[in-house]
Amino acid sequence: METKREKIIVLVQKAKESTGLFSSSWEHLWRFCHNPDLTSVELASLEELLLSEDWEELNHRFYKAPSFGTGGIRGRTIARRVTLAEKGTPDSFGCPEHPATGTAMMNHRTVRLATASLGMHLKECFPGKTIQVAIAHDTRHFSQSFAQEAAQVLSRMGIEVILFPEERSTPQLSFTIRWKQAQGGIVISASHNPPHDNGFKAYGPDGAQLVEPDAGAVVARFDRLANRLETPQWAESRGKISLLGRDGDLAFVEALSNVVLEPKLFESEAHKIQAVYTPLHGTGARIFPLLFEKWGVPLLLEPEQAIPDPRFPTVVSPNPEDPKAFERALRLARQTQADLVVASDPDADRMGVAVKTRQGDYELLTGNQIGSLLAFYRCDMLKRKGLLTERNASRAVLLKSFVTTDLIKAIAHDFGVPCIETLTGFKYMGAKLRRYEAEHGILYPQELSPDEKAGFQLSQGRFLILAAEESYGFLGGHYAHDKDSHGSALMLVESLLWARVHGQTLVEYLQGIYQRYGTYRERLITLPLEGPSGLEEVQTLLDSYRDTPPDRLASFTVKRVVDFQREDIYDQEGDLVPKEPMLVLELEGDRRIAIRPSGTEPKIKFYLFTRQASGSDVSLAIGRAEKELDALWQALQSENQKRLPQDSQSFGKVPSQAPNGSSRAF
């Protein structure tokens, strides 16, 4: 009698004759159906899709092999068409009982491959040692199930696991690795992606995401496992799985407090302000109330969005870059006359803010503005306190990505502080922190006061003033090696209190920075290139700009093209920057354009930068800068139309524009 798997194989053989199924999809499907351990859900799902000849759905599920990038995995866990077997008995949120079947999907099979790859790498790096791995997950569909699956895989490999019993943030995972001196970590999260997505990120013993050569080694392991060229070696005895208790939260809150530079501001002023916070249905509600209570800052949570919900039902996108994500929190802020509104994404590593203006309305700050404001405040306060001096400024550091505002670089130069630029992705900043730690150490007696700790680092080590990315990611201390919304919010509250004491709003404080250094404006525009050919079109467009760059854009001459993939580029410390598919077009004046593909999706990003002399009227300088950015983007749109295939699915689609240069008033 023919088995279900044999029937599937026959159906797949017939599907090869279809013109609707891509050859690559068929090859991945053919290999997949020969897996000896296919589950009943996987078999039933394949049968349903093959019998209905839904080639489009099969293409989306099988257009690529399982892949673990250097940034981890991110993809759909709920398919566009959910099969009856996958639907099963939906949970209370309407989520299917089982994740989507397919080699291009994020499911339990993918999690097992990724976890085993990391586990094998760690066992190779720490031979003969007891290995611990911390695992955290966000509030997304299947996140807890994937975290438990990863824990079981590691346990079977003889690796001990520290598992959070409920959702916790990515920065808390980074901190926990360091606090528990674990050898690695895993976060199950897809950040601000749509509800149907999930992801997997791997961390090293320093609490940072893996970079080369470790990232490449894990990717190679994954590919070998996915191609069945290698199988994990299971241990004779299982590794212990321990649940982390409330002490983990309290330790994290205590560590976060090290970002405060002037505690007296909180003692005298914190009770006079009101903050509103929304975790956007994510993990942030676990720590934010504890942290703000510790520092005496009155905090109101947006009630509906404080409830963990994998559907993110009250927002279009759970993204603190998106002004629409602030609508409910701003409504609460107006009702309570709050001074500050903070939002974090589902894994609470990124932070967006809206601040009250002199006129009583609210203005959203961009990631570039937040980073500039924090960089200036922290440099200025350290100098005022006598901690940052001409003698030790070289031991301090500001970190930023190449696509983050150059205003931070100008601030660093003014204070005599090195500003080190990295590729996009906080893991590269984490790698810098790991190097500083290895060379100088960051350990100091815990009984020291915050001032004494800063002085200790500035005299004997490297002191991180701020790490900043334009995508709303910041870090103000060595307690973690990843971006952190919790500590960022505390730093921003401190700067607000300082401005308030001096009769300013944060918007006015920022305008003072512009008057001092010039008005820097930036804009990020993301062009989606959808469909199975999307990734190819991304590469086509990037290659076109590389091989035949424009001579002019708008009225500005293109003076130089910097190719981060083909050129050897060294950072300010003399370190070779890893190769990455990114181009920077340097234009006349203080203007530049960076072009890079998304690291996780078929999208290409355009970063536009300009600077205007501020004079006495910042608003006029802002107007001039915005007109320049408009003209540059119009020129780029014309270039894109010439460079993309005429049948591209991107034509007619509206690029998404993050407000990275323009504050928004509400």
Active-site positions read: 191
Name the CA dihedral angle for 356, 359, 361, 362, rounded to a multiple of 10 degrees.
-40
Q: Which residues contact 624 (CB under 8 A, 6 or more apart)?
A: 612
Q: Which two tokens stand for residue 463?
A: 């002191």
Q: Which residue has the tokens 């019993």?
A: 165
Is 397:420 a contact under the CB 8 Å cutoff? yes
Q: Whose CA is closest to 233, among 120, 118, 68?
A: 120
Report the distance separating Cα 542 and Cα 545, nearest Å. Answer: 5
Report the distance separating Cα 453 and Cα 122, nearest Å. Answer: 32
Q: Can you spell out the DSSP letters for 187-223?
A: EE--TTS-TTEEEEEEE-TTSSB--TTHHHHHHHHHH
Report the distance separating Cα 625 and Cα 632, nearest Å. Answer: 11
Report the distance separating Cα 635 and Cα 557, nearest Å. Answer: 12
Name the CA dihedral angle for 286, 287, 291, 296, rounded to a multiple of 10 degrees.
-20
Q: Can you spell out the DSSP letters for 60-108?
A: HHHSS----BTTBEEEESS-SS--HHHHSS--TT---SSPPPSTTS-SH
Is 212:96 a contact under the CB 8 Å cutoff? no
Report the distance separating Cα 493 and Cα 488, nearest Å. Answer: 9
Q: What is the DSSP letter of 350?
A: B
